[in-house]
Structure formats: C-alpha cells, structure tokens
Amino acid sequence: MSSVVEFRGSFRYMESGGDRLRRAGRGIWYDRCGEVALAEHDNPKCDSCRRGVSCGFDCTLSKLVCPRCGATA
C-alpha cells in the first residue's frame, strides 16, 4: 500500500509502506494528472541528512515538472 508522504503544489510524493518504515527514500513524485514528475535535486542536504540521519523528506528537491501538463513546483 502506498502513502502520500509530502505535497508540493499540485505534486505528491508517494512511498510504499515498507519504504516509509525503512526511511529508504524510494518514493515517486506524481502530478495531480497522474503523470510521474521529473524531479531536479539541486538543493543542499538539510542538517539531519548531512549528519547521516534521514529527515524523511525529499530535502534536496529543487524543482518538479510534469511532462504531460507542464505544471511546475
């Protein structure tokens, strides 16, 4: 079963239950139209992630783009 972990604009970050429990960070960003988003990761890691403790969010994410409808966040 997948769960929404984070929202950014019209995008949602989904992870399976097992990934969320392990803090694996293997989720996928989707736009509201259902398309998998293109994600850019240009932001620096947060303090927790720099110390090796996952913050549980996609902290390095800098931009999301939907290839189908062109939405951005």
CB of 41 closer than 8 Å to CB of 33: no
Expressed as residue numbers, the domain containing 58 is 2-65
At 28, give phi and psi (nearest 5°).
-130, 140
Residue 70 lies in a domain: no
Residue 45 lies in a domain: yes
2-8 and 11-16 beta bridge pairing = antiparallel
Chain centroid to CA 47: how far?
18
Q: What is the mean pLDDT of each run of 10 residues along the chain (73 residues)?
A: 85 76 71 95 94 86 96 96
For the chain, the domain total comes to 1
Query: b/e for 58-73, b at 16 or more Cβ within 10 A?
Result: bbebeebbbeeeebeb
Residue 71 lies in a domain: no
Q: Give residue 6's pLDDT.
A: 87
Q: Please tell me whether the overall predicted TM-score, pTM, comes out greater than 0.85 for this model.
A: no
